[in-house]
Amino acid sequence: MTDDELEASRMPLLEHLKELRDRLVKAFIGMCVGMVISLIFVQDLIKLLRKPFDEGCITAEEQLRAGGYLAEGAEFTCKLGVVNSLFEGVYTWLWTALLAGLVIAMPIVAFQIWGFIAPGLYKSERRMVYPLSAASSVLFAMGAAFCYFVLLPIAMPFFLTVIPDMATSLSIRGYLGGVATMMIAFGVCFQLPVVVWFLAKLGLIDHKDMLGSFRYAVVAMFVIAALITPPDPITQTALAIPLCLLYIVGIGVAYVSSTKVRED
C-alpha cells in the first residue's frame, strides 16, 4: 500500500465532523437500547452491584473485632441505602441501567470509535476494525470484571475500616457512582494492547521503544493505579500488576505490527 492510497482516504474537516456526529448518534442509540434492556433487570443488577459492599461489611466487622476495635457484643453499624432526596431511587435505577447499557452496547461503541479512526489507516489495515472492536469490548469487560471480582472484595473492607470507630451509612447513589467509576476506569485501562496496536501501525512506536521505556511505564502504571484505587498498597498493586502484564503483551503486539522505520 502506498501513501497515495492513504491520502485518497482523507476527508475534509467538515466531512470528519459529520462522520463523528453520525457515529456518536449511533453509539448513543446503542447505549439507549442497552439501557432499556437493562431496566428490565435493574433490581437484580442493583443487588449484584451491592454484593461487594454486603460482603465487605462482614469482613470489616471480623477485622475490627479481631483488632480489638469492637468490644464483645458491640454492634457494628454498616448499611447501604440511605436516601438523601425524593428522586434518588429513580436516579439509582437510571444510573444502574445506564452502566449496564454501556456494557451491553460496548461492541457498538467500540465499532464506532474504530470506524471513525479507520480512515487514518491503510486500506489493508481497515479490515481490522471488526477484530479491534471485538478486542476492545472483551478487554473492557475483562477490566470491569477484574474490578468487581478481584479489586472490590479487597478494597471494600479497607473503605469500611479506615476509621475504625465510625459508623458506616452510605447513600446508594454515592456507592453506585463510586463503583461505576472504578469499573469504567478499569475497562478503559485494559484497552492498552489495542492502543499500542494503533500507535504501532501509525509508526509512532515499536517494541524497542516500549522496552526502553519499561521502567518509566511501570512507575506510570503504579501512579495511575494510585489515582484510581483506594490509598493502600494492596489495591494499588492489584491494578498495577495486570497493567504491567498488559504492557508486556503490548510489547509483543508492537513487535508484530509496528511500521516504524529505524535508521540504525
Distance of alpha carbon 141 from alpha carbon 102, whole angstroms: 11
pLDDT of residue 215: 92
pLDDT for residue 174: 80
Residue 148 to residue 175: CA distance in whole angstroms: 13
pLDDT-based confidence at residue 219 (cuts at 50, 70, 90): very high
* Confidence category of residue 99, pLDDT binned at 50, 70, 90: confident
Candidates 135, 244, 248, 257; CA nearest to 206 is 257
CA distances from 244 to 143, 231, 264 (A): 14, 19, 28
> CA 191 → CA 7, 67, 72, 161, 184, distances in Å?
28, 40, 48, 32, 11
Distances 151 to 95, 127, 148, 241 between C-alpha atoms, Å: 21, 36, 6, 12
Specify the range with the lowest mean pLDDT, choosing from 7-11, 148-152, 220-224.
7-11
Give the separation between CA 13 and CA 1, rounded to whole angstroms: 24
> In which residue are the cell numbers 454486603 written?
54
Q: Is 10 helix (H, G, I), strand (E, B) or coil?
A: coil
* Statement: residue 5 has pLDDT above 60: no
Q: Is 80 helix (H, G, I), strand (E, B) or coil?
A: strand
Above pLDDT 90, what percent of the chain? 25
Mean pLDDT, residues 120-129: 65
- Look at residue 210 in the predicted model and tell me its pLDDT: 93
